[in-house]
Structure 1
Amino acid sequence: MASLNIIYYSATGNTEEMAKYIAQGAKDAGADVKVINVEEADEKSVNADFLAFGSPAAGAEEIAPEIVEFIESNKDKIFNKTVGLFGSYDWGTGVFMESWVEQLTSENFSIVGEGFINHLAADDDEKIEKCKEYGRKIVL
């Protein structure tokens, strides 16, 4: 059974909610999934077949520093894994995800698709299903 660890930072709960639905999609696809707040994550948190990182858009559409620092400090352990990226945003257009994917791709990370973003919460059936679909996509 494939394993997926989802490591996220959430300021308002929207990204945490996405993480839970992404986890559900990966579980539905047969994966063993752990959802970990980055504030509780350690170097063992990257010990999985697949990883996903979640961040809301912070400031001027930037990745939360907590996630950036975690990835930087564990880069050598993450480098050879398939990684999903997801996040939520309120204002702006969500370009933070495009920048994040470009940055990690330029560092030779294997990113699933173009990442996945939600405007605010995953609070309707369509948004929830898209989260689950991304979870399945990461592990398949």
Structure 2
Amino acid sequence: MKISILYFSKTGNTKEMANVISRGIKKVSDFEVGIFDLENIDDDFLLESKAVIFGTPTYMANTCWQLKKWFDEGNKYNLEGKLGAVFSTAHYAQGGGDIALLTLINHLMVKGMIVYSGGSALGKPFIHLGPVAIDENFEKSKKMFEIFGERIALKTKEIFLNKNI
């Protein structure tokens, strides 16, 4: 089964967290992970993916314009019915990472995706909308991002391999 991670990264932080999420996904058996910046997407891999995770740096308490443009102009990708999740990076705690995530979640819903965050119901770490890595806790955030990837993979397996749901 395939999971794609799409991201934009200017400084490398969002790309780094995409790689950490991939490590978490790979803890669950039978997954291939494609990690793509917005300029280098493998169309076939993305379309075959059961889940797509989107990553954005936070700018002015919002998602980056590059990802917004991708959603606005990305009509060649049918995302309907795929599991969707989001993550962000920010320079500081009040930077608006949660607002950036909500903006992305709106796009996922418009595209007909099944939105999943990894949930707070699963206990610590509590991931309400998706993980946000801020500069002051960047290294410490990696464990949460890895757990996020693992939770997304487990939910993808549950939804797409269990025909009784």
> Same fold by TM-score, threshold 0.5 exceeded?
yes
CA distance in 1 between counterparts of 2:144 and 2:75 reads 28
Q: Equivalences for 1:36-51 in 2 at 5 Å?
A: 36-41=36-41, 43-47=43-47, 48-51=49-52
- Classify the secondary structure of the residue corresponding to 1:17: helix
RMSD of aligned Cα (Å): 2.1
* 2:5–2:35 contact (8 Å) kept in structure 1: yes
CA gap 1:122/1:46 in 2 versus in 1, 3 angstroms: farther
Q: Equivalences for 1:61-140 in 2 at 5 Å?
A: 61-72=61-72, 73-74=74-75, 77-91=78-92, 92-94=95-97, 95-101=99-105, 103-104=106-107, 106-107=109-110, 108-113=112-117, 114-120=129-135, 123-124=138-139, 126-140=140-154
Q: Pick the structure with more strand per residue.
A: 1
* 2:84–2:108 contact (8 Å) kept in structure 1: no
- Is there any run of 5+ residues in structure 2 with no aligned partner, and where? 118-128, 155-165
**Once the two structures are aligned, what percentage of the paired residues are identical?**
21
TM-score, structure 1 as length reference? 0.84
- Is there any run of 5+ residues in structure 1 with no aligned partner, and where? none
Aligned residues: 136
Deviations 1:45-92, CA, capped at 9 Å, x for gaps: 52211111111012x222122222223314751122001111101142
TM-score, structure 2 as length reference? 0.72
- Relative contact order (alpha carbons < 8 A, sep ≥ 6): 1 or 2 greater? 1
Match of 2:10 in 1: 11
- Please identify the structure whose Cα radius of gyration is greater: 2
* 1:10–1:55 contact (8 Å) kept in structure 2: yes
CA distance in 2 between counterparts of 1:23 and 1:50 reads 12
* 1:88–1:121 contact (8 Å) kept in structure 2: no
CA distance in 1 between counterparts of 2:109 and 2:32 reads 29
- Classify the secondary structure of the residue corresponding to 1:39: coil
